[in-house]
Amino acid sequence: MKIRQLKILLAALALCGAFAARGGAAEPGGGTATAIFAGGCFWSMQKLFDHVAGVVSTTVGYTGGRKKNPTYEEVSYTDTGHLEAVRVVYDPGQTSYEKLLDAYWHDIDPTTKDQAFCDSGPEYNSAIFYTTEQQKQLAEASKAQLEKTRPFREPIVTAIRPAAEFYAAEDYHQEFYKKNPLRYQMYKVGCRRDERLQELWGDRRD
C-alpha cells in the first residue's frame, strides 16, 4: 500500500465517523506572533513545534495554493498548489523567530523536491512562509548561513515565500500524533524519518 493511501487510512480510522469543519482557526490575542512552515507531513511538523518552548499554539493546514477551503483528499490527489503546513503562534518574549527557524531546519529534509521522506507529491515541498519583512530577512539569512555550513552535499531547495491564506485542516489531522500515537509511530517508522534526519544532520537534539 502506498504511503499516501496508508496515511488516509490511518486518518480515517482516527476519524471514527466524525467530519470536522474546515476554515481558519482563531488565534490568541495580543502579545503573540505567527509563523508558518511547510516541511513535509504536517503531523510531524506539528509535533516538532508543540515541543518548542514559547510556542502558544499550532494548527496544521494547507497554504500557498489556489483552491479555497481545500480538503485533505483534494490537496493529496488534485492540483491545488497547496502545501501541507503548520501555523505556529508563539510568544516573542519567550522564544524568537530565529529559534523557530533553527528547529525547523533540523527537522526537515531540505534537499528534496516533490517529496519529503517517504511522502511523494508537490504538497510535501518545504517552504518558509514569512508574515513580515523581518521574518523574510531572517529566513533568507538562515538559509544563506545553512548553505555555507550544511553537513550534506545536496543543494537546499526549500523556498521562502510570502504568507498566503491558511486553511486549517480537518480536526482529525490536528495533533494526530497525540490522538493516535501508535498509528503515528507506525507511519514515522515506516518512513524512516529519524534515520534520514540522522543522515542529514548527524546527532540530533531531541
* pTM metric for this prediction: 0.85
Does 30 score more than 70 pLDDT?
no
Mean pLDDT (whole number) for 116-132 = 97
**pLDDT averaged over the chain?**
88
Rounded CA-CA distance 31/20 in Å is 29
For residue 29, pLDDT beyond 70:
no
**Which listed residue (16, 41, 118, 191) is catalytic?**
41
118 is an active site residue: no
Distance CA 12, CA 131 (A): 33
Q: Which of 10-19, 24-33, 168-177 has the highest mean pLDDT?
A: 168-177
> What is the model's pLDDT at position 28?
43
Whether 138 and 101 have beta carbons less than 8 Å apart is answered as: yes
Tell me the three cell numbers of residue 46: 506539528
- Average the pLDDT over 79-101 and give the result: 98
